[in-house]
Amino acid sequence: MKRKLIAAIGVATMFAAVAACGSNDKKDDKAAANPADRSGAVTVWLMAESQSTWPELVKNTTAQFKAKYPKVTLKIQYQQWSDKIQKLDAALSGSSAPDVVELGNTETQTYILNGALAQVDKSQFANSGTWIKGLEDTCTYQGKLFCVPYYAGARVAVYNAADFKAGTGSDAFPATEDALTAALDKIEAKKGADKTYSSLYLPGQYWYAAMSYVKAYGGAIATTDGTKWTASLETPQAQQGIQHYIDLVKKYNHGDQTKDEADQDAVAAQQKAGLIYGNGWEAGSIITPPSGNAKLKDDIKTATMPGPNGKALPSFIGGSDLAVVSKSKVQDLAKEFIADYTSEKNEAILVTKATLPNNTTQLEPMKADPATAAAANAVPDAWFTPIAPGWAAIEKQGVLKTMLLDILKGKSVAAATKEADDKINSLINNAA
């Protein structure tokens, strides 16, 4: 398959390094017959959310793992999304690579194709027969599995019902975009004295949101013929979606329009936003101290985000996967850690945090819970970024963010999408 050939050529150096290190695995794997006698260390890279939002999951897994392997040192290290890729690339090229790494599900394909991740056996993990397909696809290459779905995230409307009540007379969330914009206009009129308040806080570089509008109009970031990906942001459908998104940003966001969505929870917690378009779990972040505002506990709610043409806005299905680094000399322990971490009991903890689990079995009850229904029901129709060798490089270079920022600064949609397509085409078929 061409994808494999491209990847093999593009990452020869890293692959060689990985292969060389992997040759030592057998020599260094001193697995004892009795787990209690096993020694060594397992280093795990998790993202900061696991420390701040669901620490019980980490605590449970650590206790379970240590009960079986009391002499094995478990090193949990928390990473930030802003620099995780750069740190991981450096670690993989040196001698400090983790044994287990959490990857965003748009990042996995590059590391699969460059040989950085070890193959895993699906049967070793709980609920693998009902994993959410969009997540499992990000871990799969040529029918082989190289990571394990961890959690999913679908973006929804996260709104302040008290602001809607004050502005429109009703705290019910509008079902159509026309009704929503009418409500936003009324809320802004009510808040007229506060020029820093946004009835819809939609940051200008929030490309996940922008691409949802592209999808709503029938466009796509890129398309494939099965062997090669081609950028498609210059199509009329994609340009219409981007223009629609930019129009919403300019009309309703009265904060810094050039920012991304990183602080939208904080903006809502500070009562400077009536509505954000966020992951369902961000509703909890808004009301949970110390960064959240507990006074908003009864006001922050979630709903399906209406989109153009009377339909719901297609939601990006984000989330994370867990992988064993092929350089690891303790791959068996690393796989066992992931199995423990993604057990049904631990996935249930994510459910209590309004975070979507990795499987449809535990997802199904969330569809009937008012607090999680919008996100859970968005999963079947959600869209995903191209599962292409060079996608991680496109994200890393901020191609879509640059395109949106250029438009906000005055460049035409036609010119900006052409530049973005040219850049995407130069990257998307090549593994980084």
How much is the pLDDT for 378? 84
Q: What's the CA gap between 367 and 372, in Å, rounded? A: 7
Q: What's the CA gap between 319 and 393, in Å, rounded? A: 18
How much is the pLDDT for 132? 92
How much is the pLDDT for 289? 87
Burial of 396 (0-12, 13-18, 19+ CB in 10 A): middle
Q: Looking up tokens 């392997």, which residue turns up?
A: 69
Q: What's the CA gap between 62 and 75, in Å, rounded? A: 10
Q: For the residues 45-63, what does the mean pLDDT come to?
A: 93
Residue 13 has pLDDT above 90, yes or no: no
Q: What is the pTM of this model?
A: 0.77
For the chain, percent of residues with pLDDT exceeding 90: 71
Q: What is the distance between the terminal CA atoms of the chain, rounded to a whole angstrom?
A: 18
Confidence class for position 10, pLDDT limits 50, 70, 90: very low
CB atoms within 10 A of CB 86: 10
How much is the pLDDT for 402? 98
Nearest by Cα to 405 from 416, 421, 397, 419: 416
How much is the pLDDT for 27? 39
How much is the pLDDT for 305? 95
Q: For the residues 169-182, what does the mean pLDDT come to?
A: 96
Q: For the residues 342-367, what does the mean pLDDT come to?
A: 94
Q: For the residues 89-104, what does the mean pLDDT come to?
A: 94
How much is the pLDDT for 52? 83
Residue 85 has pLDDT above 70, yes or no: yes
Least reliable range by pLDDT among 176-180, 250-254, 287-291, 405-409: 287-291
Cβ distance 97 to 325 under 8 Å?
yes
Q: For the residues 127-133, what does the mean pLDDT come to?
A: 94
CA distances to 4, 25, 56, 60, 354 from 53, rounded to whole Å, are 37, 35, 9, 14, 10
Cβ distance 286 to 300 under 8 Å?
yes
Residue 431 has pLDDT above 80, yes or no: no
- Provide the 8-state DSSP code for 314: P
Q: For the residues 184-213, what does the mean pLDDT come to?
A: 95
How much is the pLDDT for 31? 53
Least reliable range by pLDDT among 175-179, 259-263, 406-410: 259-263
Sequence-separated (6 or more) residues with CB below 8 Å from residue 77: 43, 44, 45, 46, 98
- Return mean pLDDT, the chain: 89
Helix (H, G, I), strand (E, B) or coil at 301: strand
Q: For the residues 33-43, what does the mean pLDDT come to?
A: 90
Q: List the structure tokens of 245.
A: 């998104």
Q: For the residues 377-386, what does the mean pLDDT come to?
A: 84
